């Protein structure tokens, strides 16, 4: 009788404990792979939110805060940049093009972004993908609005609908009801904050805030005769040559007319992940402890069954099984249980990734690739299987010694 058949019969005779051990290992694999996928998915999603941008500039603040509120729409800006200052910097000979953005309003909790047509022409994400339209086109008139795919889906908007924007980004009861906007375009899904944003032109920002200089609408305030932008929140910069990035960054940081900050997106993101590395290591340790506890349960199952199976080992010896065969039987059983647990855990990971994929994109902008395997995934699985061999060796050695000592008769 082969080792596989004996292993299957042995596991079937102890089906409850075997099933619990397999489930324990499967859950450990699920936690390890899920953590790795969410971690790598978060990094990839953050890194791919904006592409092809050399610098981000805004009012004086930390580079990380500038990146978070301008790209990811997390937090609020400390100040704005005058439009004159923006235009002056935009005239620098090394700058190819810029994308200005103006923040401060919202619609049902979604951010409103004031910008210009450069956003639709130059903004990129992922592997240098340009944003595209699912329906409609970019704004052309003052009160036109382009919305992200999530907003269109969640609020069931379509091209031609009329919407009203709210003043501020938090819970607010003040809206720009006197300035309704018409949806003229819906963007294709990008799995970035673009899906959760509304885009209007900079002139519209000025129009809806005419008379709001005190922070609330004033009936006595004069109506603005000019819709020319007066300020922006930040702007993205593309250079003609990457070799001039530090020159332009220094020029913006030392700009004498305003206190500004210019940040390199790649460096800031690297710094962000470095700051979060402690949390990553802590979670990795916790996942490893869960994995170790599962393998300990496997070890205990094999060890506690050893005494019960001494008679079984003696019978095997009586039919010609050698001590080495007994040794290999225990090791193979450990590897077999672990292999089943790994397969079960991997399947559970795929199912969980499928179920959580859409919510993670919508809520956090984290895109999980179901079918991609990282080097860490393979290392985890090989490590689990390799340690299972070690776990099975100790009971195997004890069984081997018992068969030598017991011979064909067992004393119990």
The secondary structure element, H or E, covering residue 107 is strand 95-107
Of 155, 152, 115, the closest CA to residue 136 belongs to 152
pLDDT at 131: 92
Confidence class for position 403, pLDDT limits 50, 70, 90: low
Confidence class for position 119, pLDDT limits 50, 70, 90: very high
Percentage of the chain surpassing pLDDT 70? 77
Residues 75 and 207 in one domain: yes
Residues 40 and 63 in one domain: no
Q: What is the pLDDT of residues 375-386, one digit of tens each?
A: 777 877 887 788
Q: What is the pLDDT of residues 120-141, one digit of tens each?
A: 999 998 778 899 999 999 999 9
Give a yes or no: residue 95 inside a domain.
yes
Residues 142 and 218 in one domain: yes
pLDDT at 342: 86
Last residue of a domain, one of 209, 238, 263: 263
Give a yes or no: residue 271 inside a domain.
no
- Both tokens of 321, joined, read 């099984």
Give a yes or no: residue 334 inside a domain.
yes
Residues 34 and 87 in one domain: no
Highest mean pLDDT among 82-86, 226-230, 294-298: 82-86
Give the count of domains, the chain. Answer: 2
The reply to whether the predicted model has a pTM over 0.85 is no
Residues 259 and 287 in one domain: no
Last residue of a domain, one of 198, 233, 263: 263
Percentage of the chain surpassing pLDDT 90? 33
Residues 323 and 356 in one domain: yes
H-helix segments, 49-188: 63-71, 83-90, 118-122, 149-155
Give a yes or no: residue 391 inside a domain.
yes
CB distance 59 to 260 below 8 Å: yes
Residues 26 and 74 in one domain: no
Last residue of a domain, one of 207, 230, 263: 263
Give a yes or no: residue 180 inside a domain.
yes
Residues 25 and 110 in one domain: no
Domain that holds residue 69: 55-263
The answer to which of 136-140, 203-207, 242-246, 328-332 has the lowest mean pLDDT is 328-332
Give a yes or no: residue 232 inside a domain.
yes
Q: What is the pLDDT of residues 238-278, one digit of tens each?
A: 999 989 999 999 999 999 999 999 999 988 888 887 777 77
């Amino acid at each position: 009788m082969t080792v596989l058949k004996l292993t299957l019969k042995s596991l079937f005779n102890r089906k409850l404990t075997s099933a619990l051990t397999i489930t324990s290992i499967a859950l450990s694999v699920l936690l390890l792979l899920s953590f790795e996928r969410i971690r790598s998915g978060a990094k990839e999603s953050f890194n791919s939110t904006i592409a092809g941008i050399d610098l981000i500039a805004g009012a004086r603040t930390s580079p990380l805060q500038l990146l978070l509120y301008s790209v990811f729409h997390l937090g609020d800006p400390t100040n704005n940049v005058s439009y004159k200052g923006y235009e002056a910097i935009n005239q620098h000979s090394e700058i190819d093009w810029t994308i200005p953005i103006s923040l401060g309003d919202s619609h049902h909790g979604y951010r409103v972004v004031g910008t210009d047509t450069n956003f639709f022409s130059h903004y990129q994400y992922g592997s240098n993908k340009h944003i595209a339209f699912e329906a409609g086109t970019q704004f052309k008139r003052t009160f036109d609005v382009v919305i992200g795919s999530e907003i269109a889906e969640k609020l069931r908007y379509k091209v031609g609908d009329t919407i009203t924007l709210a003043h501020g980004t938090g819970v607010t009861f003040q809206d720009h009801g006197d300035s309704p906007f018409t949806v003229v375009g819906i963007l294709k899904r990008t799995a970035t904050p673009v899906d959760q944003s509304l885009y209007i032109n900079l002139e519209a920002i000025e129009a809806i805030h005419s008379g709001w200089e005190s922070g609330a609408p004033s009936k006595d305030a004069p109506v603005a005769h000019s819709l020319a932008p007066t300020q922006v929140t930040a702007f993205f910069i593309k250079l003609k040559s990457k070799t001039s990035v530090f020159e332009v960054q220094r020029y913006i940081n030392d700009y004498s007319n305003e206190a500004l900050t210019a940040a390199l997106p790649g460096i800031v993101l690297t710094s962000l992940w470095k700051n979060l590395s402690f949390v990553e290591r802590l979670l990795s340790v916790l996942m490893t402890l869960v994995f170790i506890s599962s393998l300990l349960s496997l070890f205990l199952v094999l060890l506690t069954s050893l005494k019960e199976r001494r008679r079984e080992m003696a019978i095997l010896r009586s039919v010609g099984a050698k001590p080495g065969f007994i040794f290999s039987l225990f090791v193979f059983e450990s590897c077999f249980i672990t292999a089943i647990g790994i397969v079960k855990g991997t399947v559970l990971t795929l199912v969980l990734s499928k179920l959580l994929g859409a919510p993670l994109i919508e809520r956090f902008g984290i895109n999980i690739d179901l079918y991609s395997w990282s080097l860490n995934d393979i290392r985890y699985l090989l490590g689990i299987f390799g340690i299972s061999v070690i776990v099975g060796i100790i009971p195997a050695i004890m069984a081997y010694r018992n068969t030598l000592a017991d011979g064909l008769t067992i004393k119990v």
